[in-house]
Amino acid sequence: MSSQRQAILDGVLVVDLSRALAGPQAAMMLADLGARVIKVEPPHGDDSRGWGPPFVGAEEQPQSTYFMCANRNKESVVLDLKDPAGLAACRDLISRADVLIENFRAGVMDRLGLGIAGLRQENPTLIALSITGFGADGEMATRAGYDQIIQGEAGLMSVTGDTAGGPTKMGVPICDFLAGVYGAYGVLAALHERQRTGTGTVVRTSLFAAAVAASTFQGTRFTVAGEVPGPTGNHHAAIAPYGTFRCADGLVQIAVASERLWQAFRAYAGLSAEDPRWATPASRLTNRQALTGEIELAFAARTRETIVSDLLGLGIPAGRIAAMDEVFSAPPVRDNGMVIEVDQPGVGRIGLPGPPVTFDGLPDREHQHPPLLGEHTHDVLAWLKADAGEVAAQ
């Protein structure tokens, strides 16, 4: 590091038993903050190591880019938890840990001989993060949680897409991702609480809970107003004009979210100030289809670049719909260091989407590559043996 200041979670040991995305995402967020994260994998590895294409590296040892998205800054240890020796080593690790992360279905940890209640008796300061699909209790507790299933069950698909195409999933595993974010948030709160009480706790979240929390204003449309929202395509459900519009050479996005912005936009688009359909936010929403038609007629001879430039000049939020190659060459990505580079064994120098949070006064950390399967098994087991010897000698 280029400074004497330590990373925020320096000295925190995390044992990551999770796989796929939600748990690994939570563990990676803690690792990004400086925690030591030891990822315990079965002999065949985290399932996401096999998810692809795309794969990179040598054909005889292909590496999944999916796995890479949530596993930087970790050590990989292979332990067979069905083997007594592997289970004992895992328990040994957990006895030294500050945080344990798991995302098995309800009951699996107990069947493995790793019941959280027993682990916390052996290590009272342990904070355990448990991420399930549908929650720890109730009739759906034992169901496996997969992102698209949760997107459907939690209502997100019902408000995504348009009426013609039907319910649509998001293009990223949003439930997995948010469950990981909420899990890390819970762990940080528990670490703070432990400073006061001296004891750990169990933090629980689920993909379903994360998805329901993400319903935001669509949720309160039902819980408060009694409305059951449906899909509105690429247009905002409560504000107009706010969405995607055709122009001469493609699509442009605008967000006219206040009366001040509306007056400026109305003049730019040549819309009548006397038309009662556009008089109020509510009337514009009611007449959104007609308003969209008028806007697209006004935009028909104007290019995307011209419209975006003009609207930004007027202080009206506008933008394009960028493909991923455009995103990762965009100024905000470049100017804010949103891609980190690491040397990946068997591949070379690679770029990874980096942490979205920075801290003034703290240096950028030196990130470590997503580990190869079992890359650190020997070193970690040697450390456990040496540490046990030191404890016995005291």
pLDDT of 1 above 60: no
Return the pLDDT at 5: 61
Distance CA 72, CA 63 (A): 13
The confidence band for 3, taking pLDDT boundaries of 50, 70 and 90, is very low
How much is the pLDDT for 393?
60
pLDDT tens-digit series, residues 155-209: 999 999 988 888 999 999 999 999 999 999 999 999 999 999 999 999 999 999 9
Mean pLDDT along residues 13-39? 97
pLDDT digits (tens, 9 = 90+) for 225-236: 999 999 989 999
Whether the Cβ atoms of residue 151 and residue 173 lie closer than 8 Å to each other:
no
Distance CA 21, CA 48 (A): 8
Residue percentage of the chain with pLDDT more than 90: 88
Q: Report yes or no: 76 and 41 within 8 Å, Cβ to Cβ.
A: yes
**Superfamily of chain region 13-215+331-393:** Crotonobetainyl-coa:carnitine coa-transferase; domain 1 (3.40.50.10540)
| The pLDDT of residue 394 | 56
Lowest mean pLDDT across 34-43, 337-346, 348-357, 383-392: 383-392
Confidence label for 387 from pLDDT (cuts 50, 70 and 90):
confident
Mean pLDDT of 69-92: 96
Kindly tell me if the per-residue pLDDT of 107 is higher than 90. no
83, 176, 249, 364: the active-site residue: 176
Q: Are 48 and 21 in contact (CB under 8 A)?
A: yes
52-67 mean pLDDT: 95
Do the Cβ atoms of 304 and 310 come closer than 8 Å?
no
Q: pLDDT tens digit string along 113-125?
A: 999 999 999 999 9
**Looking at the predicted structure, is the pLDDT value of residue 2 above 60?**
no
Query: Which residues pair with residue 230 across a beta bridge?
Result: none
Instruction: State residue 266 phi and psi, 5-degree precision.
Output: -55, -45
Q: How far apart are CA 204 and CA 75, in angstroms?
A: 24
CATH T-level topology, domain 242-321: formyl-coa transferase, domain 3 (3.30.1540)
Inter-residue long-range contacts of 44-47, CB under 8 Å, 24+ positions, other chains counted: 45/78, 45/373, 46/19, 46/20, 46/71, 47/19, 47/20
The yes-or-no verdict on residue 276 having pLDDT over 70 is yes
* DSSP tally for the chain: helices H, then strands E: 16, 13
To the nearest whole percent, how much of the chain has pLDDT over 70? 97
Residue where the block lists tokens 């770029």? 351
Is residue 281 over pLDDT 80? yes
Query: In whole angstroms, what is the distance from residue 89 CA to residue 102 CA?
Result: 16
Q: How confident is the model at residue 242 (pLDDT cuts 50, 70, 90)?
A: very high
pLDDT at 96 over 50: yes
Catalytic annotation on 275?
no
* Residue boundaries of the structural domains of the chain: 13-215+331-393, 242-321
140 pLDDT more than 60: yes
pLDDT of residue 363: 80
Q: Where are the beta strands (DSSP E) in 110-240?
A: 127-132, 202-206
- 263-273: average pLDDT: 96
Rounded to the nearest integer, the mean pLDDT of the chain is 94
- How buried is 117 (Cβ within 10 angstroms: 0-12 exposed, 13-18 middle, 19+ buried)? exposed
CB 25 within 8 A of CB 177: yes
Q: State yes or no: pLDDT of 293 exceeds 70.
A: yes
